[in-house]
Amino acid sequence: MASIKDVAREAGVGVGTVSRAINNTGYVSPATRKKIDKAVQKLNYTPNELARNLFRNRSGIVGVIVPDLDHPFFSCLVKHIEMQLYKQGYKTMVCNAVGVSDREREYLDMLERNIVDGIITGSHCLDGEEYLRHEKPIVSIDRDFGPKIPIVGSDHMMGGELAAELMIRDGRKNVLQIAGVSPHILANERHLVFQKKLEDHHVRVRSISMDWNVFSWEAFYEAARNLVDGYSDIDGIFAGDLGVVAYMNMASQRGMHIPEDISLVGFDATSVTKMVYPHITAIRQNVPLLAEVSVNTLLDQIEQRRDILHRQILNVEVCYGGTTKAEREGA
């Protein structure tokens, strides 16, 4: 197996020059870099990643903490984060928190022990102080820890506005929204905006709260059963994608017609919205961009590449399906 000394000898340069070229840690002229690349290919040289990371005092691993990979939004998010990290030379370690704060705490401890170089967190189980006591790179998705930890999220206020506009265009008068409960997260903003806009248009809005970290299908289905039985006058539902699918299932069992009798608007626009008929109209978060910005923000901290923006908010958009009347009418 070829060594870095063999590459240097083949390229006619010093070992330090080869190291700078491979690790991008200093200037190497284009002509010299070309000779090194040619030598690397000829000798089939593979850098010792462990040794390289030890030299840089890094592990080359990033931890990603999410509430539950069973949820389609978080599974999609982790997929895109992993792809972005891999493109930039990092591996991914995933923590599926599933409501157990000790799992989050253990991953944060890995940060202090240099097992991971940084953490991207989308979980809200652990108290914020647990995160704030760490000095190493952390990026938060949707949860505001204050000025110390950068936050990346979607424009939930715009999402609430767009969802409300769909209900208004459909002429709905008794709308129910289903919200998760967790403090200091951007998602809360969409429910506040949704309710205010509808009430400004004289639409009655009732809000039902579920534990924010409940993601099982059984929980959504049972909640939908109770809502259908308890709120027979509802003509509009706004919820996360899984909540809408569950309500859609139950409403169909009760003989309700969608969207003639009731309008359904989801949030996230994950793949499940296309797995039912009619397809669900939903507010789409740009998950690939969310992953890209989160990864770049974390790596900017790890590699000290540039100043870090504390708050980055990404646009959302409506993905039309067939669960509101407006798109059927060509609006």
Q: Give CATH for domain 61-153+288-314.
A: 3.40.50.2300
Q: Which two tokens stand for residue 189?
A: 């903003």
Structure-model confidence comparison of residues 56 and 2, the more confident one: 2
Secondary structure class of 329 (helix, strand, coil): coil
Q: pLDDT class for 43, splitting at 50, 70, 90?
A: confident
pLDDT at 329 over 70: no
Q: Give CATH for domain 4-43.
A: 1.10.260.40
pLDDT at 1 over 90: no
Predicted pLDDT of residue 51: 54
Q: Which of 127, 66, 61, 70 is nearest to 96 (CA)?
A: 66
Torsion angles phi and psi, residue 86, rounded to 5: -60, -40
Predicted pLDDT of residue 175: 96
Predicted pLDDT of residue 86: 92
CA distances from 265 to 23, 139, 148, 154, 206 (A): 49, 30, 35, 17, 15
297-320: average pLDDT: 92
CA distances from 274 to 4, 16, 70, 236 (A): 51, 54, 17, 20
For the chain, how many residues are written? 331
Q: Which fold has domain 156-286+318-328?
A: Rossmann fold (3.40.50)
Mean pLDDT, the chain, whole residue set = 87
pLDDT single digits (tens) 185-215: 888 999 999 999 999 999 999 988 876 666 6
Q: Which of 192, 191, 182, 248 is nearest to 217 (CA)?
A: 248
Share of the chain above pLDDT 70, in %: 91
Q: Which of 2, 42, 10, 4 is nearest to 22 (CA)?
A: 4
The span from the CA of 181 to the CA of 173, in Å, is: 25
66-95: average pLDDT: 92
pLDDT at 71 over 80: yes
The span from the CA of 21 to the CA of 15, in Å, is: 10
Domain boundaries along the sequence of the chain:
4-43, 61-153+288-314, 156-286+318-328
CA distances from 252 to 227, 241, 275 (A): 13, 16, 15
Q: Which of 69-73, 179-183, 198-202 comes out lowest in average pLDDT?
A: 179-183
Predicted pLDDT of residue 40: 87
The span from the CA of 288 to the CA of 8, in Å, is: 40
Question: Which pTM value belongs to this model?
Answer: 0.81
The span from the CA of 190 to the CA of 156, in Å, is: 5
- Cα 43 off chain centre by: 41
Q: Give buried/exposed letters for 44-56 (b at 16+ CB in 10 A, else e).
A: ebeeeeeebbeee
- Same CATH fold assignment for domains 61-153+288-314 and 156-286+318-328: yes
Q: Which two tokens stand for residue 211?
A: 């534990």
pLDDT at 77 over 80: yes
Structure-model confidence comparison of residues 117 and 227, the more confident one: 117
